[in-house]
Chain A
């Protein structure tokens, strides 16, 4: 059996391509629409694992600064990842979550040390050493009167933002 070459109707250029047979067109359309339907179905179902409401615990908490807190000494409430400082009449809070890979940094006399990969931060959160890509963020502090403050770990503020008591 031999297969005859198709008649070419003269040379065609790239700009003047051969018309696609109707059946080929319908067949390809069917395949591609099936593929597109599967793809969009998949993408749509992938919306489910992305939570709309995050089940994280509340990041707001109230504290009472101890009267004995020395100027420039960090106050880290138990179970919270924030260091609160009182310098004179100014109060501010720095997050203690390392910007590298999320370990909890430890407040030292000179600033903060990260136990996981050796990042070191100054007291104002600036990176001194190690792989951390940016400084520790400052977080929102509200004065509630007296020695009481409301801290919101979830809200970061520009470095240098303090609350006057």
Chain B
């Protein structure tokens, strides 16, 4: 007799049939094992879909309806992160051909641009996502500020966000050198000398010999006295390794803290304003629990959710996931469209003997370059440091609660922001007009001591004006938040106007021109 007949279950099909059966079932079973807990079809499996997945478990299982409104965040944070992922992917692709050595670097970018299949397209996407990431991270910060999302318990996450902003700018700046063309070389020469600019102050005080922090900064950045092979390899290392790693780490903390700090900020009356609940999504808890949870002793916040269920929340899968995917796709679409129509620039190979005229930094630094054209130290280090310190202090100085979660919330509100826009614009435009028309101290009194030129220039004057106006608002509304609204709005206006002037109205020798067509010929 054969062995099959001896089996207890004689009706089982033969092995060959089972093999075919298993082969047919393979795609479904692969999906099941991949998602571990089955497909997200019930509330329970939707929850396990999120917390059982290593990539998704930074999300909470359920998301408040307020967080899902477009106007809560406009998806700016996710869009910023999307840009970063696009940059990682295209950056790795560019690394297949890029060689970080002077001249060779330029030729390899040329190859990528003109020879490598899809090279130009990838480089363009990389360039446009980089620019978009800078814009989006700034917009995201403005959103967090104007909805007062930095307030307790989110103070520290605001600081992490600021670190991410600085690193985003650092990534852009280090990437700027890599093509090794004229644009790159002179922008980085200027940047490195801004790092050296504390010498402007130490020289004026006569202490550079003993305390040369500026020289040290430049030396560490460039590994040499000039921008050369050492600088290129350092910038490359920062651009492809150190900064991306740091950004990934901080991004993980940033996202995790959003969840641990209670999700998106929402106003106290968010539930009332949402109106009706979404149909078909039922509260999970219908009865008040009868015992107090011992967890309440270690959970932060006013109370644990005793007697109320997560009624205003929806399962993150699909509601949040689909919204995030939509933002991601929009971001990709935008960078691809820009990349199709606008090429990343590549000028002549770097020439250390002949600077570009005008030599312009990346556009988001042109506001600073406008300030730097009066004092390297105040414009490049002093005022940016003051702005960063001010931003970092905001959540620790504004301990109020009025207006949290509302756009332009807080004493003064929208009208105050509107007035601040007018004041901010008027101050910066008037000051720039004065400087462009009549010059500044050095033209009036050529013998003005350097320390006076450093301390008393249009940039510092503008900062003082803005600070003074913000203090006035703080006292008038008797609220730190009002002062912060005024100051932040003024600085945004100043940044925009200076950037526009630096980008469009400065020509050779950093002279003012209404349009590039008026620039003198070479």
Contact = CB atoms under 8 A, between A and B. Distances in A.
A16 B55 CA distance: 56
Contact of B224 (A55, A78, A101): A55
Interface of B is mostly: helix
Contact of A56 (B186, B192, B225): B225
A128 B453 CA distance: 13
A51 B203 CA distance: 23
Interface in B10-35: none
A115 B358 contact: yes
Contacts of B369: 117
B189 A102 contact: yes
Interface in A102-128: 102-104, 113-118, 127-128
B353 interface: yes
Interface residues on B, range: 35 or more
A128 B353 contact: no
A81 B353 contact: yes
B193 interface: yes
A129 B226 CA distance: 25
Interface stretch (A5-13, A60-68, A130-138): A130-138
Contact of B509 (A51, A100, A115): A115
B376 A133 contact: yes
A115 B197 CA distance: 18
Contacts of B199: 133
Contacts of B189: 101-103
Contacts of A117: 369, 372-373, 510
Interface residues of A, number: 28
A81 B354 CA distance: 10
B224 A54 contact: yes
Nearest to A116: B359
Contact of B190 (A51, A81, A103): A103
A-B pairs with lowest CB-CB distance, top 8? A115-B357, A101-B193, A102-B193, A117-B373, A118-B510, A103-B355, A133-B200, A101-B190
20 contacts: A51-B224, A55-B228, A56-B226, A79-B353, A80-B353, A100-B193, A104-B355, A113-B509, A115-B509, A116-B355, A116-B357, A116-B359, A117-B369, A117-B372, A129-B439, A129-B442, A129-B443, A133-B203, A133-B204, A133-B450
Interface of B: 186, 189-190, 192-194, 197, 199-200, 203-204, 216, 219-220, 223-226, 228-230, 234, 352-359, 369, 372-376, 439, 442-443, 446, 450, 453-454, 508-511
Given A56-B225, A127-B442, 7 more contacts: A51-B224, A51-B230, A54-B224, A56-B228, A117-B369, A131-B374, A133-B200
